[in-house]
Structure 1
Amino acid sequence: MRKFWFITYNYLFVPLMGVFFYTGFLFSAKIRNGINGRRNIFKKLKNSVSYLNPNKRTILIHSSSLGEFQQALPLINEIDTSEYNIVFSFFSPSGYNNARINLKNSFKTYLPFDSVSNVKKFLSLINPDKVIFMRYDLWYNFLYECKKRNIPTILANARYDVKDITWSFPLSRSFKVTLYNMIDKIFVIDRDDEKNFKKLLNSDVKLTGDSKFERVLQASKNINTLNILPSTVIANKRIFVIGSSWKDDEDILLPVVNKLMKFHPDLLTVLVPHEPKEKKIERIEYRITNEFENLKSIRFSELHKFSNNNLIIVDKIGYLMKLYSLAYFSYVGGGFRTGLHNIVEPAVYNMPIFFSNRVTNSDDSEVLLNAGCGVLVDDQRKLYKDISEILYYPEVRNSIASKCELIFENSLGIAKKIISNI
């Protein structure tokens, strides 16, 4: 089937993908940035490769975007850089533009469009001894050429998504089985994934766990929270951090927080909007001033003017995880419309974590709900009741918070286990 799908993919799917991307170039800034970023990719790549140590072997680590790159960080810490160059490839601009590479004998690049000629040029220039894919973003021609060249391929943090309908239809399942069977080793995050993959594949499938949790645990230990909020602002306060909020989240949360302030004057809310652009901040400020009599807001950048404000609007980026470390409880946004943002980060600081999951894009939501430290938000009435309970009864809050520890208790050593097996 490998040859059949190779022909079908290149004569049908590759041309269709080309049409999709170049049509998207006209309408999508993200696609446009990705295509522009790949201009002269092989000229740039040739120059970057010249800085690698020719006496070392090379590992290529591919991540779709920034989130997957962050999952790779614990693995990178386990790689012996005295023996290996490391090349990082990305599909999306969010990964390529925001990933910080501080290693010697290392660089980042876009993964080129998955045509046969592009893949051959790419692999010939980098000449990797191993290729590690993080979680997903597998490309047929890339894997096919790696197989031809006997380059070992590894998939880390793999998930078998039972909701993915492409596993259900015979034709699409045949394609995916062929694709995954070209991977030499697949490291999965739980027993269900292990069982489902082993049922379908001939690849070497091993249960290791999710390095994402190890990455968050490591990051929490290294983070500097000193004076993130002045002591005069947070003294005797219980802090509610609302992370990565969208308008849909704010429509539910702001009326609830306004009502809570009548009975809990020690509550300090820190609102961190997703992409805090000026117009968005101004819209939130206008609503607070005109709709909510119990709320008095101030911008994070203007805390030197603090005067008994009870809601801080964070108008800068890069502070969210530090703010979570101060929280009594938190809410993570995105679940009403676009898809849930990172709910593992607040969990590492042991607190109740509220979120909506109407757009089910996150495996982590199930992990938190099963552990007992995640609280689903459906409407204002239930949210008010649930928050009131943890504010009136600290023992309820502490009982929920303690269950976060279950998520991380087996996370240390996952990366070491993966690297030692490749």
Structure 2
Amino acid sequence: MPIFYNIAIKVYYFLVLLFSFFNKKARLWIDGRKNWERKFSPNVTKKKIWLHFASLGEFEQGKPLLQAIRRDYPEKEIVITFFSPSGYEIRKNSSLGDYILYLPLDTARNAEKFIDLFKPELAIFNKYEYWYHFYKKLHQKQIPVYVTSAIFRPNQIFFKWYGGFNRNILSFVTHFFVQNTESAELLIRIGLNNYTNCGDTRFDSVLDLAKNKKDFPLIEAFKGNTKLIIAGSTWPADEALIAGYIKNLDKNWKMIFAPHEIGEDKIAGLEKLIGNQSVRYSLLVNGTKQLNSSIKCIIIDNIGMLSSLYSYGEIAYIGGGFGVGIHNTLEAAAWGLPVVFGSKYQKFQEAKDLIAVGGGFTITDQEDLDSVFDKLIEQAGFRMEAGEKAKSYVTHNTGATAVIMGRIF
């Protein structure tokens, strides 16, 4: 089976390489991995801890663990790797890492070179990154491998009759820190009992963000005496539905869009969809545009504001639920906002939980969105109660970081 895996890895690399000629993200993915081993000269006298994240969302999820390691073990160096440019390019200068780089392509040679170069005393992979050669080499060199905030579902290949190769990758893991009981039971089903059910470190992360929010005077001025709907990490399918609603939005309400992708074509498309009642945040900041009573919507055309923007809102819409899967609902919930999202949320435990406790609402079409927004806007008591339920859910599920730190160290 490894031979087919190796072929698949090489084919994947070749396809990304072809795509890189006309796609910036693919080009960053390729260029970031070129000559990676020549870019670093690690301090051989210091012990190192390696943490890997797929992308930016997983980094933010694991950030409390990074902070705890940095705080409790300042003498150790931290190696951070990313799979995706959306994580590396934004966090490549983070003070939480001593060495930050793309994860090299998962080949036996790269795994050997990486581990020999950095010599980590342990490795922590966040949520769902399972790379055969890296796991195998770590296991062979008796370097502990931990998976944090792990979550499993019955339809994953690990639990299929033909998933023996993938189950073998899991066998290299020293300990799993799972998010829920279902994940623990699935591991037991395939003979793995090396787990702790401690929840998701993302709860610790969003509470930390809430305690350290940034203030945005322009947003405060825009809000004034009105109320705000914050639409975060939206995609075109989300934006089309919301645009259909805000054409008749109550005069006491305004909108803020923080789209997932902020390329010029994406922002221009959103402006066209909303109409002349919108303005880009960057134009307000540089003075090109001024706030006036005709502006009912601000479009955030930068990265990094969203988690603090929720503090200004009354309702949150979380994008991705009509395509890739919903984005981070917990950031909004931590601020006591009821969260609304599309129908593709089943892979996200927190979304299912928020619906169950009454702090989250899912929609499938325009009629659903109109109905949910109408109820949340017109019934202030219902809206506030839903927001409190969302916030309570977050605060009652913190503590995973402390459990992980205690078990590993």
Whether 1:300 aligns to 2:278 is no
Q: How many residues align?
A: 398
Whether 1:255 aligns to 2:218 is no
Q: Paired residue for 1:190, among 180, 190, 201? A: 180
Report the alpha carbon displacement of residue 100 of structure 1 after superposing the two structures with TM. 4.5
C-alpha distance in structure 2 between counterparts of 1:302 and 1:243, whole Å: 19
Whether 1:34 aligns to 2:24 is no
Would the aligned equivalents of 1:214 and 1:414 in 2 still touch at CA under 8 Å? yes
Aligned to 1:180: 170
| Closer/same/farther in 2, CA of residues 23 and 373 from structure 1, 3 Å limit | same
Aligned to 1:415: 401
Report the alpha carbon displacement of residue 206 of structure 1 after superposing the two structures with TM. 0.9
User: Which residues in structure 2 correspond to 1:11-410 (within 5 Å)?
Assistant: 11-28=3-20, 29=23, 30-45=25-40, 47=41, 49=42, 52=43, 54-79=44-69, 80-103=72-95, 106-164=98-156, 166-172=157-163, 174-202=164-192, 204-231=194-221, 233-259=222-248, 261=249, 264-289=250-275, 296-303=277-284, 305-308=290-293, 309-358=295-344, 360-410=346-396
Amino acid at match of 1:36: D
Report the alpha carbon displacement of residue 416 of structure 1 after superposing the two structures with TM. 1.7
C-alpha distance in structure 1 between counterparts of 2:390 and 2:112, whole Å: 46
Report the alpha carbon displacement of residue 281 of structure 1 after superposing the two structures with TM. 3.1
C-alpha distance in structure 2 between counterparts of 1:272 and 1:151, whole Å: 41
Would the aligned equivalents of 2:334 and 2:395 in 1 still touch at CA under 8 Å? no
Would the aligned equivalents of 1:240 and 1:269 in 2 still touch at CA under 8 Å? yes
Amino acid at match of 2:277: K
Report the alpha carbon displacement of residue 198 of structure 1 after superposing the two structures with TM. 2.2
Report the alpha carbon displacement of residue 70 of structure 1 after superposing the two structures with TM. 1.6
Amino acid at match of 1:20: Y
Structure 1 stretches lacking a partner, 5+ long? 1-7, 290-294
* SS of residue paired to 1:339: coil
* SS of residue paired to 1:17: helix
Deviation string, structure 1 residues 184-237 (Cα, Å, up to 9, x no partner): 111111122112212323352111110011111111111122525143x32210
Mean Cα deviation higher: 74-83 or 395-404: 74-83
Report the alpha carbon displacement of residue 278 of structure 1 after superposing the two structures with TM. 3.0
Aligned to 1:292: none
| Closer/same/farther in 2, CA of residues 322 and 227 from structure 1, 3 Å limit | same
* SS of residue paired to 1:385: helix
Report the alpha carbon displacement of residue 402 of structure 1 after superposing the two structures with TM. 1.1
Report the alpha carbon displacement of residue 410 of structure 1 after superposing the two structures with TM. 3.3
* SS of residue paired to 1:421: helix
* SS of residue paired to 1:408: helix
Would the aligned equivalents of 2:354 and 2:360 in 1 still touch at CA under 8 Å? yes
| Closer/same/farther in 2, CA of residues 190 and 316 from structure 1, 3 Å limit | same
| Closer/same/farther in 2, CA of residues 18 and 78 from structure 1, 3 Å limit | same
* SS of residue paired to 2:321: coil
C-alpha distance in structure 2 between counterparts of 1:227 and 1:214, whole Å: 27
| Closer/same/farther in 2, CA of residues 21 and 257 from structure 1, 3 Å limit | same
| Closer/same/farther in 2, CA of residues 392 and 197 from structure 1, 3 Å limit | same
Structure 2 stretches lacking a partner, 5+ long? none
C-alpha distance in structure 1 between counterparts of 2:200 and 2:81, whole Å: 20
C-alpha distance in structure 2 between counterparts of 1:110 and 1:298, whole Å: 36
C-alpha distance in structure 2 between counterparts of 1:229 and 1:299, whole Å: 12
| Closer/same/farther in 2, CA of residues 284 and 87 from structure 1, 3 Å limit | closer
Report the alpha carbon displacement of residue 155 of structure 1 after superposing the two structures with TM. 0.9
Would the aligned equivalents of 2:67 and 2:96 in 1 still touch at CA under 8 Å? no
Would the aligned equivalents of 2:345 and 2:351 in 1 still touch at CA under 8 Å? no
Would the aligned equivalents of 2:51 and 2:124 in 1 still touch at CA under 8 Å? yes
Percent identical across equivalent pairs?
28
Deviation string, structure 1 residues 241-299 (Cα, Å, up to 9, x no partner): 1112222112211121112x3xx21111112223233333333333444xxxxx72233
Mean Cα deviation higher: 313-322 or 209-218: 313-322
Deviation string, structure 1 residues 84-125 (Cα, Å, up to 9, x no partner): 111112222222222255448711122222222221111111
Would the aligned equivalents of 2:330 and 2:394 in 1 still touch at CA under 8 Å? no
* SS of residue paired to 1:338: coil
Report the alpha carbon displacement of residue 390 of structure 1 after superposing the two structures with TM. 2.1
C-alpha distance in structure 2 between counterparts of 1:31 and 1:280, whole Å: 18
C-alpha distance in structure 2 between counterparts of 1:58 and 1:315, whole Å: 37
C-alpha distance in structure 2 between counterparts of 1:59 and 1:253, whole Å: 44
Report the alpha carbon displacement of residue 157 of structure 1 after superposing the two structures with TM. 0.7
Q: How much is the aligned-residue C-alpha RMSD, in angstroms?
A: 2.1
Amino acid at match of 2:385: S
* SS of residue paired to 1:186: strand
C-alpha distance in structure 2 between counterparts of 1:162 and 1:153, whole Å: 23
TM-score normalised to the size of structure 2? 0.90
Report the alpha carbon displacement of residue 135 of structure 1 after superposing the two structures with TM. 1.0
C-alpha distance in structure 1 between counterparts of 2:91 and 2:148, whole Å: 18
Amino acid at match of 1:169: K
Report the alpha carbon displacement of residue 24 of structure 1 after superposing the two structures with TM. 2.9
Amino acid at match of 2:272: Y
Would the aligned equivalents of 1:357 and 1:365 in 2 still touch at CA under 8 Å? no
Aligned to 1:4: none
C-alpha distance in structure 2 between counterparts of 1:157 and 1:151, whole Å: 20
| Closer/same/farther in 2, CA of residues 252 and 191 from structure 1, 3 Å limit | same
Mean Cα deviation higher: 265-274 or 215-224: 265-274
Kindly name which structure, 1 or 2, has the bigger radius of gyration based on alpha carbons. Answer: 1
Report the alpha carbon displacement of residue 71 of structure 1 after superposing the two structures with TM. 1.7
* SS of residue paired to 1:21: helix
